[in-house]
Structure 1
Amino acid sequence: MLPQAILRPCSSRFAASVLCESHAFRPFSTSLSRKEQKAAQPQTAATDSIVLSAPVTYISESHDPWFNLSYEDWLLRNTPHNQPVLFLYRNFPCVVIGRNQNPWKETTPHKLREAGIPLVRRRSGGGTVFHDMGNTNFSIILPRLLFTRSHGAEVVSKAIRERLGIKECTVNERNDVIIKDGEKELKMSSAYKIIQHRAYHHGTMLISSSLSELGKSLKSSSPNMETKSILSHRSPVTTLNHYLPSTTQKAIHHDDFVHAVTSEFSKIYANQSDKKMETREVNSDWIKEPKVWKGVEELKSWEWQYGQTPEFTNSLEGELSFGSISASLSARHAVITALTLHLTPTLHETTESTSEKQSFLDSLALSLVGHRYESLDGAEGALGHAWEEEKWRELGNEIIGWLRKVM
C-alpha cells in the first residue's frame, strides 16, 4: 500500500488542467479498443502475457531536483510491478549528470557554484543535461519485461505531434525525441534505468528553456582530462516553442505538455470501463516516506555527487609569480592518487633557487595526495620543518589557490 499522503488527487492549477478539456488540445481519449491498446504498448515477448493494472500519473509540485530524482527512484522501486506509471516534474536551474559521468569533464563545477546552479548526479546513466523552469521532465515506468528503449520516446513524440501540433517531432535511432529540421536533428535528451522487475525511460523536454544558459552551464574547462567515465553525446538542441505550428501563435507551456503527454499515456494504458487512470499530485511537504528523504540525503552527499566519479587523469599549466608551473595528476573517486608539480623558472632564476623551489613543489605534491580533487579540503598546513618559513607558506597557498581555480 502506498502512504495515504501521496494518494491525494491533483488539486494544483497545472495538474488539474490534465483532467479537463482545453480549448487548444483534446481531452483524454480512451476510444482505443483493447486490441488497439495492446498494439500501442511495447511489443516484447511478454506483451501478450502481462496483465497491467490501472495506470497512474504523478505530477510533482516540487522544483527541488534532489527531491524529484529521489521520488522518481522511489516510484520505480515501490509501485506495483505491473502498473504503468508516468511521472512529470520541473526543477529550478541545475545541471544533472549521469551516474557514471565525470562532473569536471562535463561542466565546470566551481563556475556553477559561482552562478548558484547546483550540480546533481542522478541514479540513471546517460549524459549531462540542463534543467530550468522552461524544461519539463518525464519518466515512464513499466514492468521490466515490457520495457523497450523506444517506447517512452514514441509516446512523448506522438503526444507532441498530434496534441501540440509540432509535426517535425520524431524519434531517432538512439531513441531520443528529436525535432527534424531539414538535414538537422535537434535533440531532447533521455536516459534509462532497469532493476529486477521495473524499468524507466526518463528525459527532458525543452519547452522554453534558456539555450544560452544551457550552453554556458555545459562547458568544461578541462580539455586535457582523460577519463574512464561515460561522455555525453553532444548534439544541437532546441525548444518546442521554436517550432510552433503556423496555425497558432500561442506559446507552449508546461501545463500544455503535461496535458498532451498525460492524455497520450492514458489513451494507451487506461480503459474507460475498468482501468481508469488516476492523476496524483506530489507535494514534498506531504511525503513522510523515510526512503525518499534518505535518497535526497544521499544525492546531496559529496560521496555521491563527486566521489562516484570514475578514475581520471589531468594535465594543468599556469603562470604564477615565481615562474611557469605544470601539474600532472591522477584521481580515483575524485580523490588525488598521484600528483607531480614541475617548475619552469623565470629567466634570471639561479640553479640553486630553482632546485630549492622544485624540492618544495615535490613535497607539496606529495602532501596533496589523498585530498579531494578541486576542493583540496585541508590542504593548507606545514610540510615539515624544512618549509616553515613564511615564504614557503605563501608559495604553497599560491599554488593551492591556482590548483583550485584550474581543476
Structure 2
Amino acid sequence: MKYVVMKSRDIRENLATEQFLMNNKDFNEPLVLFYIEGPCIIVGRNQNTLEEINHDYVKEHSIVVTRRLSGGGAVYQDLGNLCFSFVVNSDDKNFGDFKSFTQPIVDVLKEMGAKTAEVSGRNDLLVDGKKFSGNAMYTKNGKTFSHGTLSYDVDLDVLTQALHVNEDKIKSKGIKSIRSRVTNLKPYLLPEYQNLTTEEFRDILIPKLFEKNSIDEIKDNEYIVTDDDQKEIDKILEKYYNNWDWVYGKSPKFTVKQRKHFDMGTIDIRLNIENGMIDDVKIYGDFFGSGDVSEITTALKNTKFETKDIQNVLDNFNLDNYFKGIPKEEIIKLMTP
C-alpha cells in the first residue's frame, strides 16, 4: 500500500489532488491519502448547497464551501479534523461496502484507546454511540475511492452553527443531510494521544495502519506529488472545486421564501432557482410604492443567485419608489442568500 500526505490546507486543492491521483495514476496497489484543511463545508454531489449551509454565518466566518464528487451529506471540517481516502481498483471492493475500507481505521483507533469505536449504519463511525466520522464513495473508470473524516478536535460549536439552516426558508428535492449526535475522538483516546496536534495524530495513525511503529519506517511507501502532477491538479481545482457553477450551480432546482414585516409594510419574496440562477421571482406584500415591482422581478430573472450579482441588479433601481420607507439594505437582504 502507498500513502500520500497532502501539504495543502485547502479542501478544494485536496479534493482535486484526490481526483487526479485516482484518475491519472496507476499504483498497482491500494493508495491511502491523508489531508487536513482549514474551516470548510463539503456538500455531497446531489445536494442543494444553500439548503445545507448557514449562508450568513459561513460568509461572516470565511468558511470555504465546495462540492465533492461523491454522494452523501454535508460535512464541516477544520484544522482539528483528519481526512483519509482509500483508492483501489473497482474490482477489489464492492461499491457501498464502507466497512471494508473503514475497519482498518477503527482497529487502529481501538488500539489507541477508543475501545467503543465501531462502524455503524451505512457509512458512519461511532464512539460511545456518537458520530466522529462520515464516509462517502465514488467510482469511475475502474477505480473507486472511499473517503472519510476523523474528528479529532473539531470546533463542534462552529459545526452546529455553520450547518444549521432554516428549513422553512429553502425547499428543494436535494438529498438532505441527516443530523446526528457528533463528538471528537480526543477524549476517548489514551492519555498519551489526547494532547496532540492533528498532524501528530496523523503521523501516529499512518504507521499503525502499516503495522509499523513510526512514520520513518514506511517512507518508502510514500508518494510525493510532483510538479507535473501539481499542474494537472490546479486545472482540476479551477474546473471543479473552485468553480461557482460546480459548487452552487449544480444544486437541484429549489425555492427560496423570505418574508419580513416592516413599519411601512410586509414584503414576501419567492424565488425559484435552477442551476444556481434565478428562474422566476414573485414579490407579494402590503407595502406601498409608485413603481411596478414587475420591473424588478423581470430584471432579476437569469441572475446568478449570489449576493453581489443580485445587488448589482438592484443598484439600477431607486428601491424607495417600489418599497416606500423600507431600507434598501433590508430589501437586498430579503432577496439574497
The alignment partner of 1:189 has SS state of strand
Residues 33-48 of structure 1 aligned to structure 2 (within 5 Å):
none
TM (norm. structure 2) is 0.86
Cα displacement string for residues 307-365 of structure 1 (whole angstroms, at most 9, x for unaligned residues): 111111122111245310112221111111111111124xxxxxxxx5x65x6223322
Cα displacement string for residues 6-30 of structure 1 (whole angstroms, at most 9, x for unaligned residues): xxxxxxxxxxxxxxxxxxxxxxxxx
| Mapped contact 1:207–1:252 kept (Cα < 8 A) | no
1:266 aligned onto 2:198: no
- What is the match of residue 42 of structure 1? none
What's the RMSD between the two structures over aligned residues? Answer: 2.8
The alignment partner of 1:140 has SS state of strand
Residues 183-202 of structure 1 aligned to structure 2 (within 5 Å):
184-202=129-147
Following superposition, the deviation at residue 223 of structure 1 comes to: 2.8
Higher relative contact order (CA 8 A, sep 6+): 1
More deviation, 374-383/219-228: 374-383
The alignment partner of 1:165 has SS state of coil
- What is the match of residue 115 of structure 1? 61
What is the letter of the counterpart of residue 196 of structure 1?
N
Gapped regions of structure 2 (runs ≥ 5): 213-217
Taking the aligned partners of 2:133 and 2:252, their CA distance within structure 1 comes to: 26
- What is the match of residue 29 of structure 1? none
Residues 7-406 of structure 1 aligned to structure 2 (within 5 Å):
55-80=1-26, 82-147=28-93, 148-162=97-111, 164-179=112-127, 181=128, 184-245=129-190, 248=192, 250-267=194-211, 278-282=221-225, 286=227, 289-298=230-239, 299-320=241-262, 322-345=264-287, 354=288, 360-375=292-307, 376=310, 378-380=312-314, 382=316, 391-392=321-322, 397-398=328-329, 400-404=331-335
Following superposition, the deviation at residue 94 of structure 1 comes to: 1.4
More deviation, 359-368/312-321: 359-368
Following superposition, the deviation at residue 177 of structure 1 comes to: 1.5
The alignment partner of 1:154 has SS state of helix
Taking the aligned partners of 2:79 and 2:272, their CA distance within structure 1 comes to: 37
The alignment partner of 2:154 has SS state of coil
Q: Which has the larger radius of gyration?
A: 1
Following superposition, the deviation at residue 378 of structure 1 comes to: 3.0
The alignment partner of 1:145 has SS state of helix
Gapped regions of structure 1 (runs ≥ 5): 1-54, 269-274, 346-353
Cα displacement string for residues 367-388 of structure 1 (whole angstroms, at most 9, x for unaligned residues): 21211224225312557xxxx7
What is the letter of the counterpart of residue 200 of structure 1?
F
Following superposition, the deviation at residue 108 of structure 1 comes to: 2.0
Cα displacement string for residues 182-206 of structure 1 (whole angstroms, at most 9, x for unaligned residues): xx33341111111121101101101
The alignment partner of 1:378 has SS state of helix
Taking the aligned partners of 2:26 and 2:319, their CA distance within structure 1 comes to: 66
Q: CA 1:255/1:290 → structure 2, altered by over 3 Å: closer, same or farther?
A: closer
Taking the aligned partners of 2:285 and 2:320, their CA distance within structure 1 comes to: 20
| Mapped contact 1:109–1:119 kept (Cα < 8 A) | no
The alignment partner of 2:286 has SS state of strand
- What is the match of residue 215 of structure 2? none
The alignment partner of 2:23 has SS state of helix
Taking the aligned partners of 1:402 and 1:260, their CA distance within structure 2 comes to: 48
User: Kindly, what percent of the aligned residue pairs are identical?
Assistant: 24
Aligned residue pair count: 325
